[in-house]
Amino acid sequence: MHIKRTHLLAIILALATIYFYQDPQPNGNSRLDATRAMVEQGDFQIDAFLNQPHWAAVDKAFYNGHYYTDKSIGTSLSAVLPYWVLYKFAGIIGIVLTSTLIKHWLTTLVIGTSFVVNGIFLYKIAQLISPNSVKAFVATLAVCLGTMLWPFSEVYFGHVPAAMFLTVAFYLLFSMKGTPDFISKGKFLGAGLALGFAYIMDYTTSLIIAGLIAYAIYILRKQNRWNFLQCGFFGFLGALISLSLMFAYNGSVYRSIFAISYVNEASVVFQQGPDLRLAGYLAPPNLSTLFHISFDPKFGLFWQSPVLIVAFAGYFSAIKTKSFRSETWLSLYSISAIFLMNAGLSAWWGGSTFRSRYLIVALPFFIVPLLLVPDSLMWLLVSLTIVSIAQMMIPLIGQILIGLGFDSTKDQFTVNGPFTGFSILYNYGIHQIIKGYAKHTYPWTLGNALGLRPRFRLLAFVTLEAFLAGFSFRKLKTQAAQGTD
């Protein structure tokens, strides 16, 4: 039976995101409380859920005597339909919905699906850049499974859906670059829709959206004025359709379509953080912070996902060979903009997570330099992909959300107290895994549902994924030799 490469990739990614799950805690509760309010009450007020066990939300806005989620509304809206189905079905058959069942169902359907779709479109981008099908497959796995995209597909936050929509928009625009005579208004409409949805999932995407708009203008540079205006109109229309959901919400709750929920932050502590009112995005980046989020062994992105270091070789190769110049500049801009924005935030470490989650929306753009790495460095790309994937499993089988903080007076991380180890991922993460297994308090995995013993749950997952990956690479080589997809 002929199996397409995208099908194999989808199976690998779907298993990866379905197999694990962790409670999203107050941040995710805030988003899901709004979903429950819409389905159960027909409004947006989350007052009734804040004191319910397992639904408390520290992250919330207060306006006109009521509480609302303080998050961008996109992720809450995305869960309305699947929760409505679950809620109505439970009512029909007379079962009580537990918080775990609700959260797990919605995380899998919304965040997990976004994770898989993101991977599929990254692979489509990879195929447009590299004729080497094996490299395209490895680079896609590196970005999807070797970075924070994977762990954050297991908790109900907005970063993965936002990243997915950015990836979709990039693909739609990129797919038209080589065919100036076949510029599609439908694709511009789709790209606009995707960019609008990315924004209402996560406001930080605005920086990357600006880069993608510039890239869209570049794609249209050879069109006549009429075609340029038509495509621009369809792109704008698509974005307006997406954004109208946010405008309708803001108008209903805050009486202004341009309102921002963070301005009405309920927590006094959060009110003191300028980043939560979006002003922090404009603050000058701090060089010390930039080091912490990039190359600091304790916390830095390039230590936790070392495969991304290979991207520097890809950028060098792109500059030297002038290959995919516009895509390279878009990638560099998107990643740099988010890094600099993150370095200017007061709570730059991202709250209670094992690394800065604000970088997640830029991670898909690493696909470009990874694909431009010389074939002679494939061994390094493959090796570091395996290491990165293994390291992402540490929070998955330990804790994704931890009591992380930072003491700026001492330039020191805190994890339930001062952290003095070499790496939060290793010194704290692995310790938590050992502690969890000793006390039988490990996170849920699909192995639990299958009745596997604790020591076999991870082994079963790794074995199955390794088999699927091996089968995929065998099929890739066979299909490449036959000239089929």
One-character DSSP codes across 82-105: HHHHHHHHHHHHT-PPPHHHHHHH
One-character DSSP codes across 106-119: HIIIIIIHHHHHHH
Tokens of 23: 């409670």
3-state helix, strand, coil in the chain (%, to 5): 70, 5, 25
Secondary structure class of 130 (helix, strand, coil): coil
Q: Give the pLDDT band of residue 277 (cuts 50, 70, 90).
A: very low
Residue 369 near residue 324, CB atoms below 8 Å: no
Per residue in 12-65, pLDDT (tens digit) is 999 999 999 999 999 999 999 999 999 999 999 999 999 999 999 988 999 999
What pLDDT does residue 61 have? 93
What pLDDT does residue 230 have? 95
CA 136 – CA 121 distance, rounded (Å) = 12
Residue 307: give the domain boundaries. 5-482
What pLDDT does residue 263 have? 79
What pLDDT does residue 272 have? 46
Q: What value does the mean pLDDT take over residues 454-480? A: 86
| Structure letter (DSSP) for residue 146 | S
Q: Give the pLDDT band of residue 480 (cuts 50, 70, 90).
A: low
Class of residue 252 by CB neighbours under 10 A (exposed 0-12, middle 13-18, buried 19+): exposed
The half-sphere exposure of 44 on its side-chain side, counting CA atoms within 13 A, is: 25
Count of domains for the chain? 1
Phi, psi (deg, nearest 5) at residue 31:
-70, -45
Q: Give the pLDDT band of residue 481 (cuts 50, 70, 90).
A: low
What pLDDT does residue 279 have? 42
CA 94 – CA 88 distance, rounded (Å) = 10
Of 258-272, 282-296, 380-394, 406-420, the range with the lowest mean pLDDT is: 258-272
CA distances to 41, 226, 264, 455 from 247, rounded to whole Å, are 20, 30, 16, 50
Total Cβ atoms within 10 A of residue 408: 10
Of 44-48, 234-238, 262-266, 398-402, the range with the lowest mean pLDDT is: 262-266
What pLDDT does residue 463 have? 95
Per residue in 194-249, pLDDT (tens digit) is 999 999 999 999 999 999 999 999 999 888 899 999 999 999 999 999 999 999 99
Per residue in 75-111, pLDDT (tens digit) is 999 999 999 999 999 999 999 999 999 999 999 999 9
